[in-house]
Amino acid sequence: MNTMMTTIIYSTLIMGTLVTLISSHWLLMWIGLEMSMLAIIPILMNKSNPRSTEAATKYFLMQATASMILLLSIMLTMMCSGQWSIFYSDNLTISLILTTSLIMKLGLAPFHFWVAEVTQGTSLLTGMILLTWQKIAPLSILLQNFPTINQPLILTSAVLSTLLGGWGGLNQTQLRKILAFSSIAHMGWMLAVLHYNPSASLLNLMIYIMLTISTFSTLHINNNLTTLTLSHVWSTAPPVIIIILMNLLSLGGLPPLTGFAPKWIIIQEMVKNNNIMISTFMAITALLNLYFYMRLTYSTTLTLFPSTSNTKTKWHFHNNKNTIMLPPLITLSTLSLPMTPLLMILN
């Protein structure tokens, strides 16, 4: 794509999310979601190969289906309330349809199958946009309508997402698929606490976006796509391995890194609202995520790849990629745990 087309597409992508964020009119929210969906299709197909075309097609079909279901819930809401603005309804049918459409938009269980396949078929930077920016608009609708959403359905989907997100990543060697299943699990944590404390869900989203952007950016430096290529990075860029180790352990929620903070806050909120069994089950399923993060950490930092040379690291490194914003982003995403008491007071 030329510069003009790229500018138009990315501007439309950003404006679509912003329209959804600032709107209180249901049709404008829906239009914002459609702008984001249609703008990311050419971004997914930026690499002209069958895999990217397949990923774009799967994404379009799933998102278009979710958009039609969401439009149905909007029409039913308008018929019940007589207005297009946000209306908190206790109608069970509207609640189920609205919640189902947004679960499909976010790629939560049981509608999670497309997330890993679409992420695998795209580049690292496109996958980063898909797993971060594209989650903001549907989550903003959930946050604005949390009294209306169906609580049993959202809690069931959240628990299934944490389980399947951890289970699905156990036997993966493709880094993009691992991060996609990680996204499914993190979305489950966000939705579990949404009804009780929306501020905690928003905090979890912010920390997740920082962690995911820093992880994808670090992998993009050396174009690491598989566990095998990641294990070879030690000889070319030793500092990158340390950064990846901290990012992965923070994504897994291991203290004393930043990723432990949202899990700590969410478990505390769930226990306050007498959901001890659910919070315990979610904490156990989080160990599945931590397991495949630890497996990646072991294969990259604690083992050396086979080599006939006595020199395990190169004496001169070449890296022309811009990494100016990476150090502060990594610092925020791994070393911000001491700020947790302040964040809990603000919540």
Distance, CA of 125 to CA of 318 (rounded, Å): 21
Beta strands in 33-141 (DSSP E): none
Distance, CA of 182 to CA of 165 (rounded, Å): 6
φ and ψ at residue 314, rounded to 5 degrees = -80, 150
Question: Taking residues 126-144, what's their average pLDDT?
Answer: 93
Band the pLDDT of 107: cuts 50, 70, 90.
Answer: very high
AA letter at 263: K
Residue range 45-77, pLDDT digits in tens: 887 788 999 999 999 999 999 999 999 999 998
Number of Cα atoms under 13 Å in the Cβ half of residue 170: 10
CB 215 within 8 A of CB 248: yes
pLDDT value, residue 294: 87
* Secondary structure of residue 253 in the 3-state scheme: coil
Distance, CA of 144 to CA of 198 (rounded, Å): 9
pLDDT at 80 over 80: yes
Report CA Rg, the chain.
21
Closest CA to 110 of 70, 187, 62, 164: 164
Domain segments of the chain: what residues?
Answer: 3-346
Considering the entire predicted model, what is its pTM?
0.91
Residue range 218-270, pLDDT digits in tens: 888 888 888 888 877 777 777 778 888 888 889 988 888 888 989 988 998 99
Distance, CA of 164 to CA of 244 (rounded, Å): 24
3-state SS, one letter per residue, for 314-335: CCCCCCCCCCCCHHHHHHHHHC
